[in-house]
Structure 1
Amino acid sequence: MIDDDNIFHLHLVSDSTGETVDGVARACIAQFPDVRAHEHVWSLIRTDAQLARVLADIERNPGIVLYTVFDSDIRRKLEEGCRRLQIPHSHVLDNTITMMAGYLGQQSRGRTGALHKMDEDYFNRIEAIDFTLSHDDGQSAWDLEEADVVIVGVSRTSKTPTSVYLANRGIKTANVPFVPGCPLPPELDQLKKPLVVGLIKDVDQLVSIRKNRLRQIERGEGGDYVDPVAVRNEVHQARRYFTDRGWKIINVTRRSIEETAAMIMATMYDRRGH
């Protein structure tokens, strides 16, 4: 339990979508497990009237201000307002951009929303997300060859969220459940292009997660689905199945979705020689 003394106000200000400052803020907050941020998210701040509301809220709730504002006039006024209120503030990309500018011998363009322009990469991500959603939980097995990654795993190993995470990075990902007694799509054994990854998890954690899931959906006792002996056999069968086919196996116990996805991406790029 985090007491009130360890809760602080964190203002995230952006003249674009705010995804960059939000991601940096979360990565930084994770280094301080004993505190919690009360986030005030301000995106698409592009006028003086919008900025006035931001500064008024900062004055009412002083804390820390992190921002990605590239419009020089709005940025100057935000920084002046923070200095007037004696509020610590930082542009989260300044040091990195300055370092890169020095190394490259070029000035940065200061483009608002540069990460989100509708270019080829943007449309590739949209295509990957569409593909991933239509190939969730064993759907559309007939064109798995079009995937970049195919995830196979026992129930409750975070196949879907890992797939969506990868899709948001432009990686077409399908996922297929490994269910004892149910044959997997024959197409899996014929794949040439996609990286196939098998996900498993420690039995005790798997049983605990499955029991909690059954409570949430009010589905009774669960039988073999939560029986430790049956689950152990299931995980053993899955590991043996994956090993026999030479698939990459990842034990996702104590791994976040981001860590699992990073391992998959590293394996995929290594396989492609990148």
Structure 2
Amino acid sequence: MARLHLHLLSDSTGETLEMIAKAALAQFEGAEIDRHFWPMVRSQQHLDRIMGEIVRNPGLVLFTLANAEIRERLENACHEAGLATVSALDQVTRSLSSLLGQEAHARPGRQHKMDEAYFARVEAIQYTIAHDDGLLWEEWEEADIVLAGVSRTSKTPTSIYLANRGYRTANIPIVVESPPPPALFGLRRPLVVGLTTSADRLIQVRRNRLLSLNQTPETDYVDQERVNKELKFARRMFADNGWPVIDVTRRSIEETAAAVINLVNERRGALSKANPGPKPV
């Protein structure tokens, strides 16, 4: 299979383009892709500087450009070079414009403006980093989510992903020889979620981790009997406390986080029905 050059042009950070490209490429197994990332393209001069590189590496040009003149210049240049272009958000924007009855604002990076939600995400990330791996358990009541699981069940990366979605997330490793602090079992505000996985998958992940650290992969850390005991201990704890459990064996970090968010929303919906508040007079 020939390699494909994929050019991602954005007038902002390019995060949206990267997510779209990642989701689309996941549908093609074994595709060999060379990505060329061009963020913050906000002037014709900037576009002209990078067009030479694009022409030298012909492929698909995927873009999100709010400025009509820059966009037209890009499309014309690519047409002359025989390159295909795709505007990633056109169809969605047109549909929304039709349904809402208003024109879209052509403002670069509008989704990244520093509003209240932006600062809430920053605060969530700071909280999550500070409360990783069982740290500062005295402040867990301030969390939105607490993830619990044995070592290498993707607690930290899932926590960071959730933080980027605005959820203050703490996590704690479940260790047979070192029970968690009693505070974990008395939490009221945060949703505690247990993460588990298959023993075979966990051993594989742990063995790869040891090898990456140039350590011997033959220790109790990857012993089949020991791992089974750890997982059984954690599952019993989850069941005894009525915590929802997510099996991460075949889930990506994004899929695990989505499942956690669904649990949070379900819990909020249940609480809202249980406490509907005063009826309007």
TM-score normalised by the shorter chain: which range applies? over 0.9
2:139 is the alignment partner of 1:107: no
Partner of 1:164: 160
- Residue 30 (structure 2) aligned to one of 29, 34, 43: 34
Give CA-to-partner distance per residue, 1:242-265, whole Å, 9 cap, x none.
010000111100110000000000
What are structure 2's unaligned runs of at least 5 residues?
Answer: 273-281
Q: Paired residue for 1:188, among 180, 184, 187?
A: 184
Identity %: 48
SS in 2 for 1:6: coil
TM value normalised by structure 1: 0.96
Q: CA RMSD in A?
A: 1.1
The SS at the match of 2:261 is helix
CA distance in 2, matches of 1:173, 1:122: 17
Separation in structure 2 between the aligned mates of residue 88 and residue 18 of structure 1, nearest angstrom? 19
Distance 1:160 1:235 in 2: 18
After superposition, what is the alpha-carbon deviation per residue over 1:190-216, rounded to whole angstroms, capped at 9, x for unaligned? Answer: 100101001111001111111121122
- The number of residues matched between the two structures is 270
Q: Segments of 4+ in structure 1 off by > 2 A?
A: 218-224
What is the 5 A alignment of 1:45-56? 45-56=41-52
Q: Give 1:222 shift.
A: 5.1
Summarize the alignment of residues 1-274 of structure 1 with structure 2, pairs less than 5 Å apart: 5-221=1-217, 223-273=219-269
The residue type equivalent to 1:258 in the other structure is E
Post-superposition shift, 1:167?
0.2
In 1: Cα distance, 2:220 partner to 2:61 partner: 51
1:25-59: CA deviations, max 9, x gaps? 11111111131210110011112221012211121
Q: Deviations over 1:80-123 (max 9, x none)?
A: 11111121101100000000111111111111101110000100
Change over 3 Å in CA distance of 1:159–1:22 after alignment to 2: same
Report the CA distance shift for 1:86/1:221 in structure 2 as closer, same or farther (over 3 A). closer
Aligned-pair CA distance for 1:188: 0.7
Give me the TM-score of the superposition, normalised by structure 2: 0.94
Structure 2: distance between partners of 1:6 and 1:252: 34
Question: In 2, Cα distance between the equivalents of 1:223 and 1:182?
Answer: 19
Q: Greater shift after overlay, 216-225 or 155-164?
A: 216-225
CA distance in 1, matches of 2:45, 2:148: 51
